Amino acid sequence: MAKIRDVAREAGVSIASVSRVLTGARRVSDDTKAAVLTAAEKLGYRTNYLASALRRQATRTLGMVIPRIANPYFIALVQTIEESAQAQGYELLLCDSADDADIEKRRMRALLSRQVEGIILIPCDEKGSAETVREALREVPVVSLDRSIRGIAMDQVCVDNRAGIVAIIDHLAGKAHRRLAFVGAQQTVSTARERLEAYREYVREWDLPSADRVLLGEFTVEWGEQAADRILADGLPPDAVVCGNDLIAAGVIRTLRARGLDVPGDIAVTGFDDIELCRFIEPAITTVHQPLRDIGTEGARRLFARIEGTSGPAARVRIRPSLVVRASSG
Amino acid sequence: MAKIRDVAREAGVSIASVSRVLTGARRVSDDTKAAVLTAAEKLGYRTNYLASALRRQATRTLGMVIPRIANPYFIALVQTIEESAQAQGYELLLCDSADDADIEKRRMRALLSRQVEGIILIPCDEKGSAETVREALREVPVVSLDRSIRGIAMDQVCVDNRAGIVAIIDHLAGKAHRRLAFVGAQQTVSTARERLEAYREYVREWDLPSADRVLLGEFTVEWGEQAADRILADGLPPDAVVCGNDLIAAGVIRTLRARGLDVPGDIAVTGFDDIELCRFIEPAITTVHQPLRDIGTEGARRLFARIEGTSGPAARVRIRPSLVVRASSG
DNA sequence: TTGAAAGCGCTAACAT
DNA sequence: ATGTTAGCGCTTTCAA
């Protein structure tokens, strides 16, 4: 692999001149520039990023840690961050925490070891992630996306979960649904917690017993399937099921239909997130659309502001979602 | 950020001793080790990867370039590669080529600049990728996955597309389907080409006219929807549609049902890849299951063999897929 | 405008 | 077992 030395020799100039040409410094004659470019091209020279970054003490690299790379929902956020990074001339290092706080810590440390200049994190666990973030914050700015962490001074950008749940309940109430149930996930992340809390608080304005008709498991299709059977085991089932996310809704719908019920005729079902699957399920799922692009760009904006040191106190930003009415809610 | 100097001072030893302790070299006394560990912990020291990698001339890092990070199918391969990399003590740098040969070239160069020790590539374009690969091969081993590139000496691991299509046609023939059609994608990647060729060659053993009943577009749901309408416009439509992948099949099914036809009653439909969506569509899609784990591990195995210089001539490996029969093929 | 040389933070060879 | 030091490949003073 050709080094800057080789290019200098080939071009008949000093290595300083080669560096100047390649980094775009101004003070170079056209002759030198041409000679260097020719030599570099001829030798297939490529700047050694390690040496360059070590010397200039800048990597122009961002890190991002997400709970699961296989989740298209998170990937949509990755895309947005990647675009923002590219626009600023930064590269993105993506890591998967496998929804495990220990792995998340290891990944964050690996990113810091690689001297990333900032980190975007989708925390995997509200408790476990806090310590990791605090450690990282001592070295670089960190911004959390999608899920928030309480009691920590950092920029956090997420959807207004409460507004989403309120919109869903208002919609169902407008369709004359009265007996509601909520199928959500255990309270390990803020989204699970906030959606449940919003449901509990808001639904009692319509129907008190509905506030206690709550089942908590995981954000998966499988849990939705199980939960639906539990709901049906009840003597007088609800006429609408508010789900914590779309995957759960897909599972609930599948089981309800397998048991011979009509959705939404017998029971309406709603989701949250508006993942692509919503349009493929029959009936298509009524849900809350996540403003992923807005969340991502706002997160990146704040991270870069911190990197440049031009930002004020840490803030928690909540982006308003929108209701998407489809067939599953009658 | 604490440096090795600071730790050495804090521990009252030389920087060499700190390095020895942290890199796990043997020749250190227990006292020194303890002192270093304590000091490092106290200062929150983390080895600077840039300096370390530059010095040892080894990054223990692999690069991977895939056409689209949003495609869960590719992500399944990423997961496998990541696991293999971790098992070897390597980290993985993931890049998205956005299905664009120019971007792919830029990404590959960025990886080389970062001194990755090997690259796993899912080429975005059979023509455009060849040159990029040849360039990269001058510096590090490159292994292609899922899609192959003709006329280039490198390890390539992909599914046996022909075997998959043959299995599909045998299955449909066994169900007494005779008038077949193929809906695939333009021939920019090997998978599109090989599946079409296999269809054309093999279907004529059953029904000659079927070999010409071919529509080519993209590997998307939207194209499947359009293609279905074109198929129906024909006076005497086929009784089974073999699709180039599952997304196309999903689109075909959606349109056929929207036009009032029964799948598979009126027309059977099959896919290729066995993505998750297959089980959610109604009717669930009969398809060819990709042995993604096998492809990934075999690719990683070959890459590491090349990195260690313990491998023979470049080879093209074809992994056998399996047929998954579901409701869409009657 | 150009070149010589220092030094980024670390590891490993060499000396002790 | 430990310390001293050269040097990985590059960028950026500093001089000329």
Q: Which pLDDT tens digit goes with each residue over A120-166?
A: 999 999 889 999 999 999 999 999 999 999 999 999 999 999 999 99
**Residues 6 or more apart whose Cβ sits within 8 Å of residue A68:** A74, A96, A97, A98, A99
Q: Residue A319 — very low, low, confident or very high, per pLDDT cuts 50/70/90? A: very high
Task: Look at residue B267 in the predicted model and tell me its pLDDT.
Answer: 97
Maximum Cα interatomic distance, chain A, rounded to a whole number of Å: 89
Is the predicted pLDDT of residue A19 greater than 90, yes or no?
Answer: yes
Provide the pLDDT for residue B235: 86
Number of neighbouring beta carbons within 10 Å of residue A90? 21
Is the separation of the CB atoms in B186 and B244 below 8 Å? no
Tens-place pLDDT, residues A229-276: 999 998 899 999 999 999 999 999 999 999 999 999 999 999 999 999
Tell me what pLDDT residue B26 has. 76
Beta strand residue intervals within B221-321, DSSP E: 240-243, 268-270, 287-289, 316-319
* Helices A126-137 and A101-113, packing angle to 10 deg: 20
Is the CB of A48 less than 7 A from some atom of nucleic acid strand D?
A: yes
Separation of A291 CA and C5 C1' (Å) = 54
Confidence at residue B312, expressed as pLDDT on a 0 to 100 scale: 86
Give pLDDT tens digits for B90-107: 999 999 999 999 999 999
Q: Hey, of A69, A108, A109, A281, which one would you mutate to test binding to chain B, going by the most B CBs within 10 A of its CB?
A: A69
Work out the pLDDT band at A18, boundaries 50, 70, 90: very high
Instruction: Give yes or no for CB of B51 within 7 Å of strand C.
Output: yes
Strands B322-324 and B287-289: antiparallel
| Beta-strand relationship, B61-66 and A287-289 | unpaired
Minimum-distance residue to D3 (CA–C1'):
B14
CA distance A53 to B114: 10
Closest C-alpha among B318, B321, B272 to residue B299: B318
The answer to whether the peptide bond before residue A237 is cis (omega within 30 degrees of 0) is no
Task: Indicate if CB(B290) is under 7 A from strand D.
Answer: no
Helix axis angle for B30-43 and B15-23, nearest 10°, is 90
Looking at CA atoms only, how far is residue B27 from chain A in angstroms?
25
- Within residues 120-139 of protein chain B, the ones with CB less than 7 A from nucleic strand C are none
Helix axes A190-203, A161-174, angle to 10 degrees: 40
Q: Is the CB of B115 under 7 A from strand C?
A: no
In this prediction, residue A311 has a pLDDT band, given cuts at 50, 70 and 90, of confident
Predicted pLDDT at B311: 84
Split chain B (330 residues) into runs of 10 and give each run's mean pLDDT. Answer: 95 96 89 95 97 98 97 95 97 97 98 98 94 96 96 96 98 95 96 97 92 96 97 93 98 96 97 94 96 98 95 93 96
For B254, which residue in chain A has the nearest alpha carbon? A280
Note which residues in 115-144 of chain A have CB less than 8 A from chain B: 115, 135, 138-139
**What pLDDT sits at residue B40?**
97
For every residue of A57-123, DSSP letters joined together read: T---EEEEEES-TT-HHHHHHHHHHHHHHHHTT-EEEEEE-TT-HHHHHHHHHHHHHTT-SEEEE--
The pTM score is 0.94
Backbone angles phi, psi at A139, to 5 degrees: -110, -40
The answer to whether A323 CB sits below 7 Å from nucleic acid chain D is no
Contact residues, B window 5-24, toward A, CB-based 8 Å cutoff: none
Report the C-alpha gap between A177 and A175 in whole angstroms: 6
Distance from CA of A282 to the nearest CA of B (A): 8
Task: Classify A223 as helix, strand or coil.
Answer: helix
Query: In one letter, which amino acid is B54?
Result: L
Q: Please give the C-alpha separations between residue B14 and each of B4, B6, B11, in angstroms, as whole numbers.
A: 9, 10, 9
> Measured between alpha carbons, how far is B120 from B130 in angstroms, rounded to an integer?
14
Say yes or no: A258 contacts chain B, CB-CB below 8 A.
no
B281–A277 CB contact, under 8 Å: no
A-chain residues near B106 (CB < 8 A): none
Proximity of residue A29 CB to strand C below 7 A: yes
What residues pair up with A158 in beta bridges, in sequence order? A318
